Structure 1
Amino acid sequence: MGNLRVHSRALVIGSGLAGGVAALCLADRGVPVTVLCASEDPENANSWLAQGGIIHRSGLPGDAESLIADILEAGRHHNNPGAVRHLAVHGPDALEAILHHRLGVPFDSAADGSAGGEARWDLAREGGHSSARIAHVADHTGKSIMECLSEALAAHPLVTLMPGYTAVDLLTSHHHTRGMTWRYELENRCCGAYVYEEATGTIKTHLADVVLLATGGVGQIYLHTANAASAVGSGIAMASRAGVRMENLEYVQFHPTTLYHIEPRRLLITEALRGEGALLLNAKGRRIMESVDPRLELAPRDVVSRAIMDELLATGEPCAFLDARATGVDLEERFPLIFRSCMDRGLDIRVQPIPVVPAAHYFCGGILTDLRGRTTLERLYAIGECACTGIHGANRLASTSLLEAVLWAVEAARDVSARIERGELSEDRAVHEAIGNWEHSGTERNDDPALIAQDWATIRNAMWNYVGIRRTTARLNRAFDELRDLSRTLNAFYKSTPLSKPLIDLFHGCQTACLITEAALRNKTSLGCHYREDPAPTP
Structure 2
Amino acid sequence: MNVIVAGGGIAGLTTALRADALGHDVTLVSKGALGDGCTAHAQGGIAGVYGPGDSPALHALDTLQAGDGHGDSLAITALVDGAPAAIDALIASGVPFDRTPDGEVARALEAAHSRPRIAHAGGDATGAAISAALTHRVRTSPITVREGLFVADLIVDEGRVAGIRSIDGETLRADAVVLATGGAGGLYAHTTNPRGTTADGIAVALRAGAAVADLEFMQFHPTVLVDGGSFLVSEAVRGAGAVLRDAAGRRFLLDEHPDAELAPRDVVARAIARRAEEQGEPIVLDATALGATALAERFPTIDAELRRRGIDWSRQPVAVTPAAHYLMGGVVTDVDGRTTLPGLWAVGETARTGVHGANRLASNSLLEGAVFGARAAESLALPAPPARWPGSGPRHVHGREPDRAGTASGFSRRALQELMWEQVGLIRTEEGLRDALARLHAWRIPVAASPADQEDANLLTVARSMASAALARTDSLGAHFILSRALIGAA
TM-score by length of 2: 0.91
Alignment partner, residue 365 of structure 1: 329
Alignment partner, residue 134 of structure 1: 118
Q: Percent of aligned pairs with the same residue?
A: 38
Partner of 2:375: helix, strand, or coil?
Answer: helix
CA deviation map 1:504-534 (0-9, x unaligned): 0010011111110010011101100000111
Alignment partner, residue 509 of structure 1: 459
Aligned counterpart in structure 2 of residue 113 of structure 1, from 77, 92, 102: 102
Alignment partner, residue 333 of structure 1: 297
Q: Is the 8 A contact 2:48 2:56 kept in 1?
A: no
Amino acid at match of 1:485: A
Q: Is the 8 A contact 2:222 2:269 kept in 1?
A: yes
User: 2 CA distance for matches of 1:352 and 1:301?
Assistant: 24
User: 2 CA distance for matches of 1:62 and 1:358?
Assistant: 31
Alignment partner, residue 402 of structure 2: none
- 1:453 CA drift (Å): 10
1:185-334 alignment, distance < 5 Å: 188-196=159-167, 202-263=168-229, 266-317=230-281, 319-327=282-290, 330-334=294-298
Amino acid at match of 2:178: L
Partner of 1:513: helix, strand, or coil?
Answer: helix
- 1:327 CA drift (Å): 2.9
Alignment partner, residue 439 of structure 1: none
Assess, with a 3 A threshold, how the Cα gap between structure 1 residues 260 and 452 changes in structure 2: closer, same or farther. Answer: farther
Alignment partner, residue 441 of structure 2: 484
- 1:224 CA drift (Å): 0.2
Alignment partner, residue 422 of structure 2: 465
Alignment partner, residue 444 of structure 1: none
Pairwise CA RMSD = 1.8
Q: Is the 8 A contact 2:162 2:173 kept in 1?
A: yes
Would you say 1:383 and 2:367 are equivalent positions? no
Aligned counterpart in structure 2 of residue 150 of structure 1, from 115, 125, 135: 135
Q: Is the 8 A contact 1:452 1:503 kept in 2?
A: no
CA deviation map 1:59-118 (0-9, x unaligned): 12352121111111100111101111111122222221x2012x12000001x326xxxx
- 1:418 CA drift (Å): 4.4
Assess, with a 3 A threshold, how the Cα gap between structure 1 residues 351 and 453 changes in structure 2: closer, same or farther. Answer: farther
Assess, with a 3 A threshold, how the Cα gap between structure 1 residues 453 and 347 changes in structure 2: closer, same or farther. Answer: farther
- 1:283 CA drift (Å): 2.2
Q: Is the 8 A contact 1:524 1:536 kept in 2?
A: no
Larger Cα-atom Rg: 1
Q: Is the 8 A contact 1:279 1:326 kept in 2?
A: no
TM-score by length of 1: 0.83
Q: Is the 8 A contact 1:55 1:92 kept in 2?
A: no
Assess, with a 3 A threshold, how the Cα gap between structure 1 residues 453 and 521 changes in structure 2: closer, same or farther. Answer: closer
User: 2 CA distance for matches of 1:454 and 1:507?
Assistant: 11
Partner of 1:203: helix, strand, or coil?
Answer: coil
Q: Is the 8 A contact 1:452 1:502 kept in 2?
A: no
Amino acid at match of 1:476: L
Partner of 1:71: helix, strand, or coil?
Answer: helix
Aligned counterpart in structure 2 of residue 414 of structure 1, from 378, 384, 388: 378
Partner of 1:371: helix, strand, or coil?
Answer: coil
- 1:290 CA drift (Å): 1.4
Assess, with a 3 A threshold, how the Cα gap between structure 1 residues 535 and 143 changes in structure 2: closer, same or farther. Answer: farther
Alignment partner, residue 80 of structure 1: 72
Partner of 2:314: helix, strand, or coil?
Answer: coil
Gaps spanning 5+ residues in structure 2: where? 385-407
CA deviation map 1:226-266 (0-9, x unaligned): 00112111111111111111111100000000111153xx1
Q: Is the 8 A contact 1:123 1:132 kept in 2?
A: yes
Alignment partner, residue 447 of structure 1: none
Partner of 2:163: helix, strand, or coil?
Answer: strand
User: 2 CA distance for matches of 1:221 and 1:107?
Assistant: 33
Partner of 2:425: helix, strand, or coil?
Answer: coil
Alignment partner, residue 26 of structure 2: 33
1:47-86 alignment, distance < 5 Å: 47-86=39-78
Q: Is the 8 A contact 2:290 2:314 kept in 1?
A: no
Gaps spanning 5+ residues in structure 1: where? 1-7, 115-119, 174-181, 183-187, 197-201, 421-450
User: 1 CA distance for matches of 2:376 and 2:409?
Assistant: 36
Q: Is the 8 A contact 2:243 2:285 kept in 1?
A: yes
Q: Is the 8 A contact 1:275 1:298 kept in 2?
A: yes
Amino acid at match of 1:252: M
Alignment partner, residue 456 of structure 1: 413
Aligned counterpart in structure 1 of residue 7 of structure 2, from 5, 8, 14: 14
Partner of 2:219: helix, strand, or coil?
Answer: strand
Assess, with a 3 A threshold, how the Cα gap between structure 1 residues 62 and 272 changes in structure 2: closer, same or farther. Answer: closer
Alignment partner, residue 5 of structure 1: none
Q: Is the 8 A contact 2:289 2:314 kept in 1?
A: no
- The runs of at least 4 aligned residues of structure 1 exceeding 6 Å deviation read none
